[in-house]
Amino acid sequence: MTRRGWLTAGFVVAGVAAMSAGFLASSWWLGGSRMQGEPAPAITLTDLNGQTRTLAEWQGKLLLVNFWATWCAPCVDEIPLLVEAQARYGAKGLQVVGPAFDEPEPAKAMAQRLRINYPISADLAQADAAARALGNHNGMLPYTVLISRDGRILKTVLGSLTREQIDTLVQEHL
Amino acid sequence: MPLIRTLLLALACSLATGAIARPLFSPQPTEEGLLPVEEAFQLLPARRQAQALKLEWNIAPGYYLYRGQLAFEVLTPQGFRLAPPRLPKGETIQDPEFGKVEVYRGIVAAEFDLPPGMKGPLKLRVHYQGCADLGICYPPQQQQLAVPAAVRS
């Protein structure tokens, strides 16, 4: 190869490497998992029975915290998949928790309609504080956070998860 | 030297291209990839005529507002109530859980008739809620809006 050829090849390789670096750096900066690896913050929620629950009480389980609301169609559409996941993987150590950006009455009605089989809370201020502590600052929904058995944040996801995504995530970390 | 400078510039451009391209390939949306709520659903200044009031939203492409979530409250003058607004027919979308729901895209206006005696300024609280086509919903919004007094003709 001529000197000019080597130079061109080197230039192309360097360009591709720089583009990849930019892609990865942006992935770290913009990705939904900036909190990955960090210990989950202390979070308190009041369930629909008025019981105070903390995320710490489920330490030792794989926790899937799904923020939702009755006014959020993509959230409501996703819930049957989470109910299914809780039924399928609960005995193996998965615990789904659903803080709602909502009032108790509509949340209770929706929980009955969708036969939600995991603890949910319906307190706007609590849900907002919990979501912010877990990396969601604008209250956009649905928002899901996966927390390891030892209480570390594994992944945060803005937007609905598919059944395949839930299965992959859960099976990978159970 | 100019060659090295050109090469460095090209590498910097490659780095930036990679960073910019990443959201296009992202399987999940990110908070940063979505418009702030006030840009997604821009509530324009109220337009007042003697006996009419028009409130308009400019909805960004790829976003929509729910017709059923639009609500209007009068804060002042106290005790004054607005008649229900005239709203255009929206787009009907089918949701697996909610069934058929009507949504608005682009520019949408709510038009109110005001009684002949109502000439002074009004202060309103407007409620609205919408989502992005990416499958993300914004929390319900409340915005106060000052409506100027009718201009004497």
The dihedrals phi and psi of B86, each to the nearest 5 degrees, come to -85, 125
A80 and A11 within one domain: no
H or E stretch at B9 = helix B2-25
- Residue A78 domain flag: yes
Contact B140 A73 (CB under 8 A): no
A27 compared with B10, residue with greater pLDDT: B10
Give whole-number Cα distances, B57 to B70, B71, B118, B136, in Å. 11, 13, 24, 19
Across residues B104-121, what is the average pLDDT? 94
Helices A163-173 & A73-89, crossing angle to 10 degrees?
40
For B34, the closest of A19, A74, A140 (CB atoms) is A140
pLDDT given for residue B33 in this prediction = 84
Q: Which helix (H) or strand (E) element contains residue A86? A: helix A73-89
pLDDT of residue A31: 41
B95 contacts on A by Cβ (under 8 Å): 73, 77
pLDDT at residue A32, rounded to an integer: 47
What is the rounded distance in angstroms from the CA atom of residue B125 to the CA atom of residue B143? Answer: 6
CATH code (residue A106): 3.40.30.10
User: Which positions in chain A touch B41 (Cβ < 8 Å)?
Assistant: none
Contact: B30, A30; criterion CB under 8 Å: yes
Residue A36 lies in a domain: no
The pLDDT score that the predictor gives to residue B81 is 92
Residues A125 and A152 in one domain: yes
The answer to whether position A67 is within a domain reads yes
State how far residue A153 is from chain B, nearest Cα, in angstroms: 17
* Residue numbers in A near B4 (CB within 8 A): none
| Mean pLDDT, residues B124-146 | 96
Contacts of B129 in chain A (CB under 8 A): 71
In a domain, A150, yes or no: yes
A30, A34, A168: which to substitute to probe chain B, counting the most B Cβ within 10 Å? Answer: A30
Distance, CA of B5 to CA of A64 (rounded, Å):
50
DSSP type of residue A1: -
Residues in chain A, pLDDT under 70: 1-33
Closest CA to A169 of A111, A82, A75: A82
Query: SS3 of A165, please?
Result: helix
Q: Which residues of A touch B10 (CB under 8 A)?
A: 11, 15
pLDDT at A28: 36
Q: Do B137 and A158 touch (CB under 8 A)?
A: no
B137·A75 Cβ contact <8 A: yes
B4 confidence band (pLDDT: 50, 70, 90): low
Number of domains in chain A: 2
State whether A83 and A157 are in the same domain: yes
Say if the ipTM goes beyond 0.85. Answer: no
Whether A132 is covered by a domain: the verdict is yes
Question: Nearest Cβ partner of B18 from A18, A30, A141?
Answer: A18
Instruction: State the pLDDT confidence band at B20, using cuts at 50, 70 and 90.
Output: very low
In a shared domain, residues A48 and A23: no
| A168 and A87 within one domain | yes
Please tell me the predicted confidence (pLDDT) of residue B24. Answer: 45
pLDDT for the residue numbered A22: 45
Full-model pTM: 0.79
| 3-class state of residue B113 by DSSP | strand
Which pLDDT score, from 0 to 100, does residue A35 have?
86
Residue among A72, A83, A156, A157 with most chain B CBs within 10 A, to mutate: A72
* Residues in Cβ contact with A6 at an 8 Å cutoff, skipping those fewer than 6 apart: none
Give the domain extent around A84. Answer: 44-173
Q: Which fold has domain B36-147?
A: Immunoglobulin-like (2.60.40)
What's the whole-number average pLDDT of chain B? 86
A35, part of any domain: no
Is A54 in the same domain as A121? yes
How do the domains of chain B map onto residue ranges? 36-147
Q: What is the pLDDT of residues B27-77, one digit of tens each?
A: 466 777 899 999 999 999 999 998 999 999 999 999 999 999 999 999 999
Tens digit of each residue's pLDDT (9 = 90 or more) over A1-15: 666 666 566 656 665
Instruction: State whether B21 and A23 contact (CB < 8 Å).
Output: yes
In this prediction, residue B108 carries a pLDDT of: 98
Per-residue pLDDT at A12? 62
Confidence band for B150, pLDDT divided at 50, 70 and 90 = confident
The verdict on A68 and A1 lying in the same domain is no
- In this prediction, residue B96 has a pLDDT band, given cuts at 50, 70 and 90, of confident
Residue A39 lies in a domain: no
What is the rounded CA–CA span in Å between residue A73 and residue B68?
13
Instruction: Give yes or no: residues A22 and A73 share one domain.
Output: no
